[in-house]
Amino acid sequence: MPHPHASLLKEFQIAIDHIVPSVPKEIRAEAQKLHDALLKNEDASEEEIEAALAQVGIAEYPHRKASQEIAGKLEEQTRLALVLEHVDETVRAMLKKHLDAGVPLVEIVRSSLFETELTPEQRYQVEDALLDAADHVREELAKAIDPSSEKYLKLVERWRAHAATIEEKIQELEKLAAKDPKWKEEIQNKAARFREGFSVTERDPELEEVEKEIEYWKDTLGEQL
């Protein structure tokens, strides 16, 4: 009998398989251990799996960001070249039209353009190409980054501190939920979505977005503050 949350666990495994090469082996091993335990436990809830995804994501976050900062341009160029090589001419022309206008590949895939300008079969080409490119990108990053170098370790610490600042701001947002019962649930849900962004399968939370949300609710709750 398949696990009741098999699709989510499959995403978890894919994320583990594509963790950046510079992430310490112990983080990768712990991620796999968490995944395997959840897979064996058919009573594991969606919340438990999401908590595990966030735990791995927070540990992986500073290493991924450090890798991207050192070799981000190489990563993007490699991924883009492989994707364009993988898709057919029609899809390639659509992508190049927006790429030549300055839109990054990741933004094209996330935008409504991806849904409106491509058929399901064409979208599958791009998604399949991105998965195939991931392994090649990992190989290139492994060659380009020395995880024991002083530069890399300093960047990891900087991004770890940045993640801690984001978490502090999320906590600040959560505290605002107690100011007015009318908005409590909405504020708590927003804070939860920001925190879920640390999951290895979600988009990273951005400090500026959390700060803007805090300012918005401070204005909304002005008379209660």
Token duo for residue 68? 């991207």
| pLDDT number for residue 184 | 94
| pLDDT number for residue 200 | 81
User: What is the helix (H) or strand (E) element at residue 148, kind and residue range?
Assistant: none
User: What is the helix (H) or strand (E) element at residue 166, kind and residue range?
Assistant: helix 150-176
CA neighbours within 13 Å on the CB side: how many for 126? 24
| pLDDT number for residue 212 | 96
pLDDT in tens, 9-30: 999 998 898 888 899 999 999 9
Contact yes or no for 159/65 (Cβ under 8 A): yes
pLDDT in tens, 143-185: 888 999 999 999 999 999 999 999 999 999 999 999 989 999 9
| pLDDT number for residue 90 | 92
| pLDDT number for residue 150 | 95
Token duo for residue 13? 């495994």
User: What is the helix (H) or strand (E) element at residue 137, kind and residue range?
Assistant: helix 120-144
| Full-model pTM | 0.73
| pLDDT number for residue 113 | 81
- Measured CA to CA, the distance from residue 18 to residue 131 in angstroms comes to 9
Give the rounded distance of the alpha carbon of 173 from its chain centre: 21
Q: At what angle do helices 207-220 and 150-176 cross, to 10 degrees?
A: 20
Domain ranges across the chain: 6-224
**Mean per-residue pLDDT pooled into runs of 10, the chain (225 residues):** 87 89 93 95 92 93 91 83 92 92 88 88 91 82 88 96 97 94 94 90 91 95 65
Q: Classify each residue of 82-119 as buried b or exposed e, where b means 16 or more C-beta atoms within 10 Å of its C-beta.
A: bbbebbeeebbebbeebbeeeeebeebbeeebbeebbe
